[in-house]
Structure 1
Amino acid sequence: MMKKIVSFMSILLLVGGVFAFTQVATWKLGKDYAIEFSAKGVDGIFKTFSATINFDETKLAASKFSMSLDVNSINTGNGLQNKHAIGDEWFDAEKFPKIKFTSSSFEKTSAGYSVKGKLQVKDVTKDVTIPFTFAKKGNKGTFVASFSIDRSVYGVGKSGGDVSNNIKITATLPVSK
């Protein structure tokens, strides 16, 4: 009986030690972040964004991103265009108030890093890979991602027309520990 208890305790300590070594830094999002988008026919920003960022460049397998954009915070610089963007033909913010991304894996690349995960826009969720860089200086850092998505895949607006389907997104996220 004593051997079983000692064996069980040893396993618990071993498992606990593994988890202790796989923990990664939690980064807090700074207030001066920028989520910008641009395409033929429209450009602008999302003003309200939240994120849980657990990232360590030496422990990519244990790193996680969870991010959410408030669709109602879109700002194209044109009030009428903003109203159309949150309307049911485009983002339908009343039914789908958030755009969400949840990571599944990270990889080191020649240009920095990439994160794979699920991007949910409206009621459509797709696997995406987002390239990004991370510049760290002490207890502060900056993540910068630049990528494109096809809005028609997510049912945002009608394909074609004045706004191109290919939307470029640039996210600049200052963080601190």
Structure 2
Amino acid sequence: MKLAKLSNKLVVSAITLAVAIPALAAMAKLDNAKSNVAIVFKQMNVPVDAKFKKFSANIDYNAAKPETSKANVEIELASFDLGDPEYNKEVLKKEWFNAAQFPKASFVATTMKASGPGKLDVNGTLTIKGKSSNVSFPLNVKQDGKNQIFDGSLPIKRLAFNIGEGEWKDTGMIADEVVIKFHVVTTQ
């Protein structure tokens, strides 16, 4: 009887390991050197590119069952780079990102659905400056050796997140639409 119980415990342990190991292997590690998050907006109708130098991404992507995939991205707002130290300081102020009170922006995926080979429709919650909004966007996914590459863009309205308060609400100077572009590379 004791041998049967021990045998059952070994079988249960083996099954648990068989299930747990692939789950652990699926969690990918962000390759910071190859990844980037940038934005494009228009100032006086001229496109301006900027980037965030620091962000993290936890992605658990299952190509066979994308609906079970999960993603969480956090961006450090103080890492925003417009290419000029004075402009960089300005956008961290209360009227813009208010980085002292809201140091990070985040995105949490709520659903991912296949929409074609290498394509997903992603829904989730974007939070910037304490304001959250449900967003949707297409995502391209490709395998490159041991790397997964996720490319996409998400247009948002900056005023919906109170980015540009006071005199900066005027969309004649800075357009309301901002496009967040990302290229995220993960390794297993």
TM-score range, shorter chain: 0.7 to 0.9
1:100 to 102, 106, 111: 106
**Is the CA contact (8 Å cut-off) linking 1:29 and 1:50 kept in structure 2?**
yes
TM-score by length of 2: 0.79
- Aligned CA distance change for structure 1 residues 105 and 22 (closer, same or farther; 3 Å): farther
Task: Classify 1:173/1:80 alpha carbon distance in 2 versus 1 (closer, same or farther; 3 Å).
Answer: same
Structure 2 distance, partners of 1:73, 1:124, is 20
Q: Does 1:169 align with 2:180?
A: yes
1:22 CA drift (Å): 9.0
Partners of 1:162 and 1:35 lie apart in 2 by 24
Q: Which residue of 2 aligns with 1:40?
A: 42
TM-score, with length taken from structure 1: 0.84
Q: Which moved more, 1:135-144 or 1:93-102?
A: 135-144
Q: Deviations over 1:122-173 (max 9, x none)?
A: 1100101121111103321211111211111111002414211101111001
Q: Give the superposition deviation at 1:76.
A: 0.4
| Alpha-carbon distance in structure 1 between the residues aligned to 2:170 and 2:65 | 41
Structure-to-structure mapping, 1:38-77, within 5 angstroms: 38-41=40-43, 42-77=48-83
Q: Cα–Cα, structure 1 residues 161 and 82, in superposed 2: closer, same or farther, change >3 Å?
A: farther
Structure 1: distance between partners of 2:147 and 2:22: 21
Q: How many residues of Structure 1 are paired with residues of Structure 2 in the alignment?
A: 167
**Preserved CA contact (<8 Å) 1:22 1:62:** no
Unaligned ranges ≥5, structure 2: 1-8
